[in-house]
Structure 1
Amino acid sequence: MIETSARLLRLLSLLQVRREWTGSALAERMSVTERTVRRDIDKLRNLGYPIHASPGVAGGYQLGAGADLPPLLLDDEEALAVALGLSTVAVGPVAGIGEASVRALSKLEQVLPPRLRPRFNSLKTAISRIASPIDAVDPALLTQLSTAISDRRTLSLKYQKHDGELSQRLLEPCRLVDSGSRWYLVAWDTQRADWRTFRVDRIIGRPSERARFTSRPLPAQDLGEYVHRAITRSPYRYDLLIRVQAPASTVSEHFSTSTAILEAEGPQSTMMRLGWDSLDVPLGLLAASGLDFDILEPAELRQRAESMARRLQRAVGPTTPPNPIS
Structure 2
Amino acid sequence: MAETINRALQLLNMLQAHRHWTGTELSQRLGVTERTVRRDIDRLRELGYRIESTPGVAGGYRLEAGSAVPPLLLTDEEAVTMAIGLRVAATQRLVHGPETTLTALAKLEQVLPVALRRRVNALAAVVQPVGIGSAPAVSPDILGELALACRDHERLRFTYTSASGETTTRRVEPHALSPAERNWYLLCWDLEREDWRTFRVDRLDAVQHTRVLFEPRALSAEQTEEFFRVAAAWVRQPVETDLVMDLPYDAMREYFGQWGQGATPETDDTTRWPVGGADFRETMYGMSWIPEGVGYTTDLAEPARTELRESLVRMLAALDAPPPPRRSSHPDS
Question: TM-score of the superposition, structure 1-length normalised?
Answer: 0.50
Determine the structure 2 residue equivalent to 1:182: 183
1:278 CA drift (Å): 5.6
Distance 1:153 1:233 in 2: 27
Alignment check: 8 A CA contact 2:158 2:169 kept: yes
Determine the structure 1 residue equivalent to 2:90: 90
Distance 1:185 1:161 in 2: 14
1:83 CA drift (Å): 0.4
The code of the aligned residue for 1:211 comes to R
Q: Does 1:139 align with 2:140?
A: yes
Q: Give the greater-gyration-radius structure (CA).
A: 1
Alignment check: 8 A CA contact 1:96 1:178 kept: no
Structure 1 residues 231-269: Cα deviation after superposition (integer angstroms, max 9, x where no partner): 547999758xxxxxxxxxxxxxxxxxxxx9xxxxxxxxx
Structure 2, unmatched stretches of 5+, are 10-71, 244-258, 260-272, 291-295, 312-333
Alignment check: 8 A CA contact 1:195 1:219 kept: no
The secondary structure found in structure 1 opposite 2:170 is strand
Determine the structure 1 residue equivalent to 2:307: 308
The code of the aligned residue for 1:283 comes to F
Alignment check: 8 A CA contact 1:187 1:197 kept: yes
Determine the structure 1 residue equivalent to 2:253: none
The secondary structure found in structure 2 opposite 1:198 is strand
> Are residues 179 and 303 of structure 1, via their aligned partners in 2, closer, same or farther at CA, if it must alter by over 3 Å?
closer
Structure 1, unmatched stretches of 5+, are 10-71, 240-259, 261-275, 288-292, 313-326
Distance 1:279 1:125 in 2: 34
The secondary structure found in structure 2 opposite 1:164 is coil
Q: Aligned ranges for residues 1-326 of structure 1 at < 5 Å?
A: 1=1, 73-91=73-91, 97-113=97-113, 116-125=116-125, 131-132=131-132, 134-203=135-204, 205-222=205-222, 223-229=224-230, 232=233, 277=274, 279=276, 281-283=278-280, 296-297=288-289, 300=297, 307-308=306-307
The code of the aligned residue for 2:183 comes to R
The secondary structure found in structure 1 opposite 2:307 is helix
Distance 1:177 1:123 in 2: 22
Distance 1:303 1:126 in 2: 43
Alignment check: 8 A CA contact 2:160 2:203 kept: yes
Structure 1 residues 147-202: Cα deviation after superposition (integer angstroms, max 9, x where no partner): 12223322211101121111011112121123243221111222222222111121
Alignment check: 8 A CA contact 1:174 1:186 kept: yes
Determine the structure 1 residue equivalent to 2:17: none
1:139 CA drift (Å): 1.9
CA RMSD between the two structures: 4.6
Count of aligned residue pairs for this structure pair: 211
1:208 CA drift (Å): 1.4
Distance 2:208 2:196 in 1: 20
Distance 1:184 1:190 in 2: 18
Alignment check: 8 A CA contact 2:88 2:128 kept: no
Alignment check: 8 A CA contact 1:189 1:196 kept: yes
The secondary structure found in structure 1 opposite 2:110 is helix
The secondary structure found in structure 1 opposite 2:288 is strand
Alignment check: 8 A CA contact 1:173 1:186 kept: yes
1:112 CA drift (Å): 2.8
Structure 1 residues 37-92: Cα deviation after superposition (integer angstroms, max 9, x where no partner): xxxxxxxxxxxxxxxxxxxxxxxxxxxxxxxxxxx842221111010122234346
1:141 CA drift (Å): 1.3
Structure 1 residues 121-155: Cα deviation after superposition (integer angstroms, max 9, x where no partner): 34335657763254332222111101122233222
The code of the aligned residue for 1:112 comes to L
Distance 1:297 1:310 in 2: 18
1:103 CA drift (Å): 2.2
- After TM superposition, the structure 1 stretch with the greater mean CA deviation from structure 2, 227-236 or 208-217, is 227-236
Distance 2:300 2:118 in 1: 59
Distance 1:118 1:185 in 2: 26
The code of the aligned residue for 2:137 comes to A
